[in-house]
Amino acid sequence: MATIAELALTKIYPQTTVSLGGGSNVYKLAQVLKQHPELKLTLVSPSEYTRIACQELGLAVRPLNATEHVAVAFDGCDAVDQSLNALKSNGGIHTDEKIYAQAADQYILLATPEKVGLTLPNTVQLCLEIIPAAVPQVLDRCRQLGLQAVHRRDEAVAAFARTPRGNSLVDVYASDWQAIDTINMQLVNFNGVISSSYFKDVVTAVITLDQQGNAVEITKEA
C-alpha cells in the first residue's frame, strides 16, 4: 500500500530541481527524499517552515533565483475540486506559492481525501494578499459584492497578520463558490490587491488516498 509521499516520489527524476511547498504531506515527502541522496536533487521552497524543516533533515534548499528550471513542484491545499482548481488560503503565502508553481513543469498537490471534492466548499475562504493602505477599500468592495470579509489577525500576537513582504491578508467568505471565477476576477483586479489564494488552471495533478487508503493520482484527463 503506497503512501501519498511514496507515490509522489515516483514523479521525481534524478538530478532535477524540485519545489516543496507547505503542509504535512509535503514534509513527509521531504522525509522520504532524505532517504534517497542518490537522486541528487536541487530543492527549492516558497515556505519558510519547509525550508527550516528541510535544513533540520539535512536537506539543502536553494533560492528559486539560483535555479534555471523546476521540474516539479509539490504543495498542499485547503480544498481542490474535480477540475483541479484549488484554494490555498490558510497559509497566507499563496503569492510565493504561485511563483513557484509558474516556474514548474508540473504542479502537484498532495491532499488528504477530505480536501478533495466535486466543488470548492464554502467552509474554506478566499484569501487576498493586499497592500496595507488598501485594506479599508478592499473590505468595502467585498461588502458591495455581498461578501463577508475579515482583516486577518495573527493569533500568536495582538496584531494583524503579515505576509513575508509585510502585506496584509483579507479572508473573504461567500455562501458558496459557484461564482468564484467571477468573484476572484473582480477582487484581484481591484487596486491594491496583489494576489488571491485561488489556483485556477495551475494544478496538473492531485495525489490523495482512495477509499481503501491507497495513494492515487487524479489528473484532468481522468
pLDDT digits (tens, 9 = 90+) for 21-74: 999 999 999 999 999 999 999 999 999 999 999 999 999 999 988 887 899 999
Q: Map residue 149 onto helix, strand or coil.
A: strand
Q: What is the CATH number of the domain that holds 138?
A: 3.30.70.260
| Residue 158 backbone dihedrals phi, psi, to 5 degrees | -85, 70
Tell me, yes or no, whether 104 and 70 share the same domain. Answer: yes
Total-model pTM: 0.94
Among the residue ranges 13-17, 66-70, 99-103, 202-206, the one predicted with the least confidence is: 66-70
Pair 181, 119: CB distance under 8 Å: no
Note whether 151 and 208 are same-domain residues: no
- Confidence at residue 67, expressed as pLDDT on a 0 to 100 scale: 84
Same domain, 109 and 209: yes
Q: Does residue 58 sit in the same domain as residue 142?
A: no
Q: Cα 111 from chain centroid?
A: 11
203 vs 201: CA distance, rounded Å: 6
Question: Where is 26: in which H helix or E strand?
Answer: helix 24-34
Interval 99-123: pLDDT, tens: 999 999 999 999 999 999 999 999 9
Q: What is the pLDDT of residue 221?
A: 64
Spell 27-37 as b/e; 16+ CB within 10 A means b. Answer: bbbbeebeeee
